[in-house]
Amino acid sequence: MQSKIRRKSKTYKSKRQFTGHKSDRKKPFTHMNPEIAPQLKSVLAQIGKPYPAPFVPDEFQLKALDAIKQNDCLVIAPTGSGKTWIAREAILSVMENGGRAWYASPLKALSNSKWVEFGLHFDPKNVGIITGDTKENTAAPIIVGTTEILRNQLYDAMHQGFDLNCDLIILDEAHFLGDADRGVVWEEIMIYLPVRVNLLLLSATIGNGEQIARWLESIRKKPCTVVREENRPVPLYPLFLHPSGCIYPFLEGKKVAKPVFECMQKDGGRRMPDYGGIIRVLERFNLLPAIFFLKARAECDAALNARAALPPLANSSEFDDALYELLDRFPSLENHRQLKALRAAGLAAHHGGQLPAWKLLVEEMMNRGHLRVIFATSTIAAGVNFPARTIVLFNSDLFNGHDFQQLSATEFRQMTGRAGRRGQDKIGFMLAVSGRFMDLNHIRRLLFAAPEDILSRLKNDFAMVLNLLLSQTPEDVRKIFDRSLAAYQQNTEGKQSTSAARYLWEDFSRHLKFLQKEGFVDDTGKLTGDGHWASRLRLDHPLLVAQCLRENAFPEENERILAALVAVFAYDRDDEIKLPVKDMPPKLTQALKKILLTVRPLAHRLEKAGFASAKLYPSAGMAMYYWAQGRGWDTVIKITGIAEGDMATLVLRTADNLRQIAALKDTYPEIAACAYRAREAILREPVLFL
């Protein structure tokens, strides 16, 4: 996001910008004198590595394993408590009986990580992976992939009339069921999944687990056991850092401690944080490694300047061996601009603006105990597994992609779940730092708050409607909505209400009517020939891409141009890449104009029918064209000015779109062949590294 996006929350009197308000730029914490309150001496004395002991499963793990062998199971347990152990043992039980298991996660990075982990545990020959850009060993008894791919396989199974070749489905990070943008995918999977296949849901943060289980029982007609574990594997102790450098307990009972309360009364939050000083305080009291949660990518990168205030890291041979091993694996990172801070001071930044390979290198170095601090945005809390001894909070709010909002209890638990490394720490810490956008009393409330309830996010889009009509009649779809979590959640205390299902049906009918007018669905509700192939475009803008195919607006021979054109539809950010139009090659200019003119009438019809208009940025196509030409990564980043992580995401999304177009070889063979070549041209290092 650009720095012009501001906070609208009424909790704050003034506007906030990503780059920081001018009044933020007063003097930082200075002359911090590392001290601890006397009562903390006994607490900090608990720091250390637990005594090694043979692994003994906890009672909740055994209960969950017994349940999933028979029926469905929802496990709600803190981060690091051993949910993956349950998954592995459940998979093993299925494999021993000759069955197959599917492990789905919300993130490609997490899927890649689990692929490697399961390969080491079960033998690589037994584990395959399917994501938008990786497809390996798909006949293996264990498949790891993203939830979207699993949902698509269910679409295909319903359409072709075969039973999903699977006996166990594991949905990791199951609280994504409540995600505003992607929760629909989780709900679709739960609705479409054959009853024969047992479902294991894993999460650290679901408030209404019993309600979710009752809903599943109502639609799947089989028990769903809820297994809750409240105890953290590593206890969490909340701390407060005074601007002087003294660390105090954050709480006295259930109230904020006196030093915290006194700091809340003062107007002392306009100072810039002194990250170097804070790291020295933490290091003095053996509270590292730490994760510093910061508000924006730019702040994470700028915080690396703290290395100037720190003594050099005493690099061990283990550090050097680990780093060189990772650089051998990712040679494109040898000249990474942030490598110096990592090597010299053990500091790293981790956020969505960075290359996937760099983030993986940082995660590995942290997991091996070689880093002091990671400066991260809150996205680190979603599914990535590298805990620290201490997590440090500077703000009590979070940017949700649209606005700044106060941290929810679910988000807070995800973040504090990173504090304390199982097997390496006896105790973990949360350190709150006062600041202009830190409501310390809100942090106090969150320490005692339960995760929020999950609400249904089921909604229609054209890809969903087309895929449902592959195998369902409109009346069948109405029944699906009657079985939705949205409908169930409105059925309270025995009072039937169908308004949620009715709304979903009316919205479905609106989509259906438009598809009929455009010739993708006939008057009886069945897909036309165009509707059949368009249903395979499981994209953000399937109708616009389909229109380009219908009108031959895509090139059949120039894969570089095709990659550029498809990137326009794949780009998912709200800000345009700033590129001078005068530098655009004439062939690309002409091709871009052609697709924009092709989709304009359809876009107008969509808007007239009340559907959201698509934002298409030709500059995204220009950026992709440079990469498809074969130019070096650093050159492309320099020319476009786009963040590495955003460019990598654009490449991967474009490749996924091209993969789906390439699958239309029976309908558009020439364009499909060109899409295949285009995908091969853009999937290379450093974007693709597996």
- What tens digit of pLDDT does each residue of 239-284 get? 999 999 999 999 999 999 999 999 888 755 556 789 999 999 999 9
The reply to whether 507 and 557 lie within a common domain is no
Q: Can you give the pLDDT at residue 401? A: 67
Q: Can you give the pLDDT at residue 6? A: 31
Please state, as a whole number, how many other Cβ atoms lie within 10 Å of the Cβ of residue 96: 8
Q: What is the CATH number of the domain that holds 644?
A: 1.10.3380.30
The reply to whether 222 and 317 lie within a common domain is no
Please report which helix (H) or strand (E) contains residue 229, including its range.
none
Which of 417, 448, 479 marks a domain boundary?
A: 448
Question: Does any domain span residue 530?
Answer: no
pLDDT digits (tens, 9 = 90+) for 536-586: 999 999 999 999 999 999 999 999 999 999 999 999 988 888 887 777 889
Tell me the Cα Rg of the chain.
Answer: 26
Q: Can you give the pLDDT at residue 68? A: 98
Contact 143, 128 (CB under 8 A): yes
Q: Is the pLDDT of residue 349 over 50?
A: yes
Q: Is the pLDDT of residue 15 over 90?
A: no
Q: How far is CA 454 from CA 210, 319, 378, 451, 657, in A?
A: 11, 42, 20, 9, 31
The reply to whether 331 and 471 lie within a common domain is no
Which of 393, 425, 448 marks a domain boundary?
A: 448
Question: Does any domain span residue 527?
Answer: no
Q: Can you give the pLDDT at residue 29? A: 52
Question: Does any domain span residue 138?
Answer: yes
Question: Does any domain span residue 334?
Answer: yes
CA-based end-to-end distance of the chain: 28
The reply to whether 147 and 270 lie within a common domain is no
The reply to whether 200 and 157 lie within a common domain is yes
pLDDT digits (tens, 9 = 90+) for 422-476: 889 999 999 999 988 899 999 999 999 999 999 999 999 999 999 999 999 999 9
* Interstrand relation of 135-136 and 127-130 (parallel, antiparallel or unpaired): antiparallel
pLDDT digits (tens, 9 = 90+) for 510-538: 999 999 999 999 999 999 999 999 999 99
pLDDT class for 4, splitting at 50, 70, 90? very low
Q: Would you list the DSSP string of 588-618?
A: HHHHHHHHHHHHHHHHHHHHHTTPPPP---H
Q: Taking all residues of the chain, what is their mean pLDDT, rounded to a whole number?
A: 90
Q: Is the pLDDT of residue 496 over 60?
A: no
pLDDT digits (tens, 9 = 90+) for 384-423: 667 899 999 999 998 766 778 899 999 999 999 999 988 8
State how many domains the chain has: 4
Tell me the percentage of the chain whose pLDDT exceeds 70.
Answer: 92
Question: Does any domain span residue 331?
Answer: yes
Which of 174, 207, 228 marks a domain boundary?
A: 228
Question: Does any domain span residue 14?
Answer: no
The residue to which tokens 């920081």 are assigned: 20
Contact 361, 326 (CB under 8 A): yes
pLDDT class for 9, splitting at 50, 70, 90? very low
Question: Does any domain span residue 2?
Answer: no
Q: What is the CATH number of the domain that holds 288?
A: 3.40.50.300
Tell me if residue 222 falls in helix, strand or coil. coil
The reply to whether 212 and 256 lie within a common domain is no
The reply to whether 282 and 336 lie within a common domain is yes
Q: Can you give the pLDDT at residue 690? A: 54
**Computed from CA positions of residues 86, 88, 90, 93, in that sequence, does the dihedral angle turn out positive or negative?**
negative
The reply to whether 219 and 280 lie within a common domain is no
pLDDT digits (tens, 9 = 90+) for 29-47: 556 889 999 999 999 999 9
Q: Can you give the pLDDT at residue 110? A: 82
The reply to whether 583 and 659 lie within a common domain is yes
Give the phi and the psi of residue 226 in degrees, each rounded to 5.
-100, 125
pLDDT class for 21, splitting at 50, 70, 90? very low
pLDDT digits (tens, 9 = 90+) for 181-236: 899 999 999 999 999 999 999 999 999 999 999 999 999 999 999 999 999 999 99
The reply to whether 543 and 631 lie within a common domain is yes
pLDDT class for 7, splitting at 50, 70, 90? very low
The reply to whether 574 and 508 lie within a common domain is no
The reply to whether 326 and 194 lie within a common domain is no
Tokens at 158, concatenated:
């319903």
Question: Does any domain span residue 185?
Answer: yes
Mean pLDDT of the region 112-116: 87
What does the alpha-carbon distance between residue 547 and residue 569 come to, in Å, rounded to a whole number?
12
Q: Which domain holds residue 280?
A: 22-50+240-448
What does the alpha-carbon distance between residue 12 and residue 220 come to, in Å, rounded to a whole number?
46
What does the alpha-carbon distance between residue 243 and residue 260 come to, in Å, rounded to a whole number?
11
- 686 preceded by a cis bond (ω within 30 of 0): yes
